[in-house]
Protein backbone atom coordinates (compact mmCIF):
# COMPACT_ATOMS: atom_id res chain seq x y z
CA UNK A 1 0.00 0.00 0.00
CA UNK A 2 2.89 2.35 0.77
CA UNK A 3 4.38 1.72 -2.65
CA UNK A 4 1.09 2.57 -4.23
CA UNK A 5 0.86 5.82 -2.27
CA UNK A 6 4.31 6.92 -3.38
CA UNK A 7 3.55 6.06 -6.98
CA UNK A 8 0.42 8.17 -6.96
CA UNK A 9 2.05 11.19 -5.32
CA UNK A 10 5.07 11.37 -7.59
CA UNK A 11 3.19 12.25 -10.81
CA UNK A 12 1.23 14.85 -8.85
CA UNK A 13 4.45 16.58 -7.80
CA UNK A 14 5.79 16.45 -11.33
CA UNK A 15 2.63 17.97 -12.73
CA UNK A 16 2.75 20.77 -10.16
CA UNK A 17 6.39 21.50 -10.97
CA UNK A 18 5.68 21.35 -14.68
CA UNK A 19 2.79 23.77 -14.26
CA UNK A 20 4.94 26.12 -12.21
CA UNK A 21 7.71 26.05 -14.80
CA UNK A 22 5.22 26.65 -17.56
CA UNK A 23 3.76 29.60 -15.66
CA UNK A 24 7.17 31.17 -15.01
CA UNK A 25 8.71 30.65 -18.39
CA UNK A 26 7.44 29.34 -21.74
CA UNK A 27 3.94 30.74 -22.16
CA UNK A 28 1.88 29.94 -25.26
CA UNK A 29 2.53 32.70 -27.81
CA UNK A 30 -0.40 35.08 -28.32
CA UNK A 31 0.24 35.37 -32.09
CA UNK A 32 1.12 32.15 -33.85
CA UNK A 33 2.48 31.58 -37.32
CA UNK A 34 -0.83 29.99 -38.28
CA UNK A 35 -2.69 33.06 -37.02
CA UNK A 36 -0.53 35.44 -39.02
CA UNK A 37 -1.03 33.31 -42.14
CA UNK A 38 -4.81 33.31 -41.67
CA UNK A 39 -4.87 37.09 -41.24
CA UNK A 40 -2.73 37.55 -44.34
CA UNK A 41 -5.06 35.37 -46.41
CA UNK A 42 -8.11 37.22 -45.09
CA UNK A 43 -6.53 40.57 -45.96
CA UNK A 44 -5.58 39.33 -49.43
CA UNK A 45 -9.11 38.08 -50.12
CA UNK A 46 -10.61 41.36 -48.90
CA UNK A 47 -8.26 43.40 -51.09
CA UNK A 48 -8.97 41.20 -54.11
CA UNK A 49 -12.72 41.65 -53.66
CA UNK A 50 -12.34 45.38 -53.01
CA UNK A 51 -10.03 46.05 -55.97
CA UNK A 52 -11.27 43.65 -58.63
CA UNK A 53 -14.83 42.64 -57.80
CA UNK A 54 -16.89 45.11 -55.78
CA UNK A 55 -16.33 48.73 -54.78
CA UNK A 56 -18.39 51.22 -52.82
CA UNK A 57 -19.42 54.62 -54.17
CA UNK A 58 -21.70 57.35 -52.89
CA UNK A 59 -23.92 59.85 -54.71
CA UNK A 60 -22.91 63.48 -54.04
CA UNK A 61 -25.29 65.28 -56.42
CA UNK A 62 -28.84 65.15 -57.75
CA UNK A 63 -27.92 64.48 -61.40
CA UNK A 64 -29.48 60.98 -61.33
CA UNK A 65 -32.67 61.79 -59.43
CA UNK A 66 -35.08 60.18 -58.91
CA UNK A 67 -33.20 56.95 -59.67
CA UNK A 68 -30.35 57.78 -57.30
CA UNK A 69 -30.51 60.34 -54.50
CA UNK A 70 -27.87 62.39 -52.73
CA UNK A 71 -26.73 60.24 -49.83
CA UNK A 72 -27.19 56.89 -51.56
CA UNK A 73 -24.26 54.50 -51.16
CA UNK A 74 -23.78 51.92 -53.90
CA UNK A 75 -22.09 48.58 -54.31
CA UNK A 76 -20.56 48.49 -57.79
CA UNK A 77 -19.61 45.41 -59.81
CA UNK A 78 -16.13 46.20 -61.18
CA UNK A 79 -15.50 42.80 -62.75
CA UNK A 80 -18.11 42.56 -65.52
CA UNK A 81 -16.72 45.43 -67.60
CA UNK A 82 -13.08 44.68 -66.75
CA UNK A 83 -11.51 45.72 -63.46
CA UNK A 84 -8.74 48.30 -63.44
CA UNK A 85 -5.38 47.14 -62.12
CA UNK A 86 -4.34 49.55 -59.33
CA UNK A 87 -1.54 52.05 -59.98
CA UNK A 88 -1.56 51.31 -63.72
CA UNK A 89 -3.56 52.21 -66.83
CA UNK A 90 -4.24 48.52 -67.45
CA UNK A 91 -7.49 46.66 -66.96
CA UNK A 92 -8.55 43.03 -66.90
CA UNK A 93 -10.72 41.62 -69.72
CA UNK A 94 -14.42 42.10 -69.10
CA UNK A 95 -17.30 39.67 -69.63
CA UNK A 96 -19.63 42.21 -71.22
CA UNK A 97 -19.87 45.86 -72.21
CA UNK A 98 -22.28 48.64 -71.18
CA UNK A 99 -25.65 48.49 -72.87
CA UNK A 100 -28.14 51.25 -73.62
CA UNK A 101 -30.21 52.00 -70.55
CA UNK A 102 -27.59 50.71 -68.11
CA UNK A 103 -26.42 52.84 -65.20
CA UNK A 104 -22.61 52.89 -65.17
CA UNK A 105 -19.78 54.40 -63.19
CA UNK A 106 -17.03 55.94 -65.30
CA UNK A 107 -14.20 58.42 -65.19
CA UNK A 108 -15.34 61.59 -66.91
CA UNK A 109 -13.47 63.00 -69.88
CA UNK A 110 -11.57 66.12 -68.89
CA UNK A 111 -13.79 68.94 -67.68
CA UNK A 112 -12.13 72.35 -67.79
CA UNK A 113 -13.30 75.91 -67.54
CA UNK A 114 -13.68 77.87 -70.78
CA UNK A 115 -12.39 81.42 -70.22
CA UNK A 116 -15.03 84.13 -69.79
CA UNK A 117 -17.81 81.62 -69.18
CA UNK A 118 -19.70 80.38 -66.15
CA UNK A 119 -17.51 77.79 -64.44
CA UNK A 120 -19.18 77.12 -61.09
CA UNK A 121 -20.32 73.66 -62.23
CA UNK A 122 -16.80 72.56 -63.21
CA UNK A 123 -15.44 70.22 -60.50
CA UNK A 124 -12.11 70.72 -58.79
CA UNK A 125 -11.07 67.31 -60.08
CA UNK A 126 -10.93 67.66 -63.90
CA UNK A 127 -11.70 63.95 -64.40
CA UNK A 128 -14.17 63.01 -61.65
CA UNK A 129 -15.74 59.57 -61.36
CA UNK A 130 -19.43 59.96 -62.23
CA UNK A 131 -22.58 57.84 -62.33
CA UNK A 132 -24.73 58.24 -65.45
CA UNK A 133 -27.13 56.29 -67.62
CA UNK A 134 -25.88 55.03 -70.98
CA UNK A 135 -28.12 56.47 -73.70
CA UNK A 136 -26.01 55.58 -76.75
CA UNK A 137 -23.15 53.22 -77.58
CA UNK A 138 -20.59 52.99 -80.39
CA UNK A 139 -22.17 53.29 -83.84
CA UNK A 140 -25.39 54.90 -82.59
CA UNK A 141 -26.64 58.18 -84.00
CA UNK A 142 -28.13 60.26 -81.23
CA UNK A 143 -29.87 63.60 -81.18
CA UNK A 144 -32.32 65.57 -79.09
CA UNK A 145 -35.32 67.60 -80.26
CA UNK A 146 -37.45 69.60 -77.82
CA UNK A 147 -35.91 67.71 -74.93
CA UNK A 148 -36.68 64.24 -76.33
CA UNK A 149 -33.81 61.87 -77.12
CA UNK A 150 -33.74 59.98 -80.42
CA UNK A 151 -31.50 56.96 -81.03
CA UNK A 152 -31.03 55.99 -84.68
CA UNK A 153 -34.15 57.95 -85.52
CA UNK A 154 -36.36 56.32 -82.87
CA UNK A 155 -37.78 58.48 -80.07
CA UNK A 156 -36.90 57.15 -76.64
CA UNK A 157 -39.52 57.10 -73.93
CA UNK A 158 -38.74 59.37 -71.02
CA UNK A 159 -38.22 56.44 -68.72
CA UNK A 160 -36.15 56.28 -65.57
CA UNK A 161 -37.76 59.49 -64.37
CA UNK A 162 -35.80 61.78 -66.73
CA UNK A 163 -36.90 64.84 -64.80
CA UNK A 164 -37.91 68.05 -66.52
CA UNK A 165 -37.71 71.57 -65.12
CA UNK A 166 -40.63 73.78 -66.19
CA UNK A 167 -38.62 76.88 -65.33
CA UNK A 168 -35.54 75.83 -67.30
CA UNK A 169 -34.69 77.53 -70.57
CA UNK A 170 -33.40 75.92 -73.73
CA UNK A 171 -30.03 77.62 -73.42
CA UNK A 172 -26.95 77.37 -75.60
CA UNK A 173 -23.50 77.05 -74.11
CA UNK A 174 -19.87 77.18 -75.30
CA UNK A 175 -19.48 73.81 -73.60
CA UNK A 176 -21.61 72.23 -76.36
CA UNK A 177 -19.16 73.29 -79.07
CA UNK A 178 -17.29 69.94 -79.01
CA UNK A 179 -20.35 68.40 -80.68
CA UNK A 180 -19.57 69.99 -84.05
CA UNK A 181 -16.72 67.51 -84.54
CA UNK A 182 -19.13 64.54 -84.37
CA UNK A 183 -22.20 65.92 -86.14
CA UNK A 184 -23.81 63.89 -88.92
CA UNK A 185 -24.82 66.14 -91.80
CA UNK A 186 -27.00 65.34 -94.80
CA UNK A 187 -28.66 62.36 -93.11
CA UNK A 188 -32.28 61.28 -92.84
CA UNK A 189 -32.25 62.52 -89.24
CA UNK A 190 -32.23 66.14 -90.31
CA UNK A 191 -29.62 68.87 -90.13
CA UNK A 192 -27.95 69.66 -86.82
CA UNK A 193 -28.76 73.09 -85.40
CA UNK A 194 -26.19 75.79 -86.13
CA UNK A 195 -25.89 76.39 -82.38
CA UNK A 196 -26.51 73.34 -80.13
CA UNK A 197 -28.74 74.01 -77.14
CA UNK A 198 -29.74 72.07 -74.07
CA UNK A 199 -32.82 70.55 -75.72
CA UNK A 200 -31.81 70.60 -79.40
CA UNK A 201 -28.52 69.11 -80.56
CA UNK A 202 -27.13 66.49 -82.90
CA UNK A 203 -27.37 64.15 -84.69
CA UNK A 204 -24.04 62.91 -83.36
CA UNK A 205 -22.30 59.65 -84.27
CA UNK A 206 -20.84 57.81 -81.26
CA UNK A 207 -17.28 56.75 -82.16
CA UNK A 208 -15.93 53.22 -81.67
CA UNK A 209 -15.14 52.14 -78.10
CA UNK A 210 -17.08 55.05 -76.60
CA UNK A 211 -20.45 55.65 -74.97
CA UNK A 212 -22.66 58.62 -74.20
CA UNK A 213 -23.94 59.03 -70.65
CA UNK A 214 -26.65 61.42 -69.48
CA UNK A 215 -28.11 62.09 -66.06
CA UNK A 216 -31.74 61.13 -65.47
CA UNK A 217 -32.25 64.58 -63.98
CA UNK A 218 -31.57 66.23 -67.34
CA UNK A 219 -31.80 69.84 -66.17
CA UNK A 220 -29.51 69.36 -63.18
CA UNK A 221 -26.83 67.19 -64.75
CA UNK A 222 -23.36 67.93 -66.06
CA UNK A 223 -22.93 65.08 -68.49
CA UNK A 224 -21.81 64.06 -72.00
CA UNK A 225 -23.64 66.96 -73.58
CA UNK A 226 -20.92 69.17 -72.10
CA UNK A 227 -17.81 67.01 -71.83
CA UNK A 228 -18.27 64.54 -74.68
CA UNK A 229 -18.24 60.79 -75.19
CA UNK A 230 -16.58 58.61 -72.56
CA UNK A 231 -14.07 55.96 -73.68
CA UNK A 232 -14.98 52.42 -72.65
CA UNK A 233 -11.56 52.28 -71.01
CA UNK A 234 -12.86 54.84 -68.50
CA UNK A 235 -15.72 52.65 -67.31
CA UNK A 236 -15.26 51.56 -63.68
CA UNK A 237 -18.25 49.33 -63.18
CA UNK A 238 -21.97 48.67 -62.94
CA UNK A 239 -23.91 49.67 -59.80
CA UNK A 240 -25.69 46.68 -58.29
CA UNK A 241 -27.73 47.98 -55.38
CA UNK A 242 -27.98 50.67 -52.73
CA UNK A 243 -26.60 49.28 -49.47
CA UNK A 244 -27.14 52.43 -47.39
CA UNK A 245 -29.06 55.69 -47.82
CA UNK A 246 -29.13 58.76 -45.62
CA UNK A 247 -31.02 62.01 -46.14
CA UNK A 248 -28.52 64.76 -45.36
CA UNK A 249 -31.23 67.44 -45.24
CA UNK A 250 -33.67 65.75 -42.86
CA UNK A 251 -30.87 63.82 -41.13
CA UNK A 252 -32.78 60.55 -41.37
CA UNK A 253 -32.19 57.08 -42.76
CA UNK A 254 -34.05 56.14 -45.93
CA UNK A 255 -34.83 52.59 -44.81
CA UNK A 256 -36.93 51.82 -47.89
CA UNK A 257 -33.88 52.33 -50.14
CA UNK A 258 -31.61 49.88 -48.30
CA UNK A 259 -30.66 47.02 -50.67
CA UNK A 260 -32.67 48.52 -53.51
CA UNK A 261 -31.65 47.11 -56.91
CA UNK A 262 -30.49 49.82 -59.34
CA UNK A 263 -32.27 49.80 -62.70
**Residue 245, in any domain of the structure:** yes
What is the rounded CA–CA span in Å between residue 242 and residue 66? 13
Q: 111 lies in which domain range?
A: 52-261
**Residue 31, in any domain of the structure:** no
Cα separation values, 162 from 93, 115, 128, Å: 32, 31, 22
**Residue 39, in any domain of the structure:** no
What is the rounded CA–CA span in Å between residue 246 and residue 206? 37
Summarize pLDDT for 3-37 with one digit per residue, the tens.
444 444 544 444 433 443 444 455 555 678 776 67
pTM: 0.78
**Residue 170, in any domain of the structure:** yes
| Mean pLDDT value of segment 197-214 | 96
- CATH number of the domain within which 80 lies: 2.10.109.10
**Residue 40, in any domain of the structure:** no
DSSP one-letter string for 120-152: TTS-SSSS-EEEEEEEEETT-EEEEETTEEEET
Summarize pLDDT for 79-116 with one digit per residue, the tens.
889 877 666 667 778 888 999 999 999 999 999 999 99
Give the list of residues 6+ apart from residue 258 with CB closer than 8 angstroms, or none.
Answer: 242, 243, 244, 245
**Residue 14, in any domain of the structure:** no
Say what the pLDDT of residue 4 is.
46
Q: Which of 11-25, 111-125, 236-250 has the lowest mean pLDDT?
A: 11-25
Number of domain units in the chain: 1
**Residue 21, in any domain of the structure:** no
**Residue 184, in any domain of the structure:** yes
| Mean pLDDT value of segment 135-151 | 95
Strands 154-155 and 252-253: unpaired
What is the rounded CA–CA span in Å between residue 240 and residue 242? 7
What is the rounded CA–CA span in Å between residue 47 and residue 209? 29
Amino acid sequence: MAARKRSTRTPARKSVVASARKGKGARDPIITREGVTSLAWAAAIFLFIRIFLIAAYHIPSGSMEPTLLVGDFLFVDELSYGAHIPFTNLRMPGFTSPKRGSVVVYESPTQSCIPNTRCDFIPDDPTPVVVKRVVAVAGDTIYMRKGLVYINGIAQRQGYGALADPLAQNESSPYYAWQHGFEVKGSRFGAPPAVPTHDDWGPLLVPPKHLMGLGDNRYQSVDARMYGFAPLANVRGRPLFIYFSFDLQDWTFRWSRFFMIIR
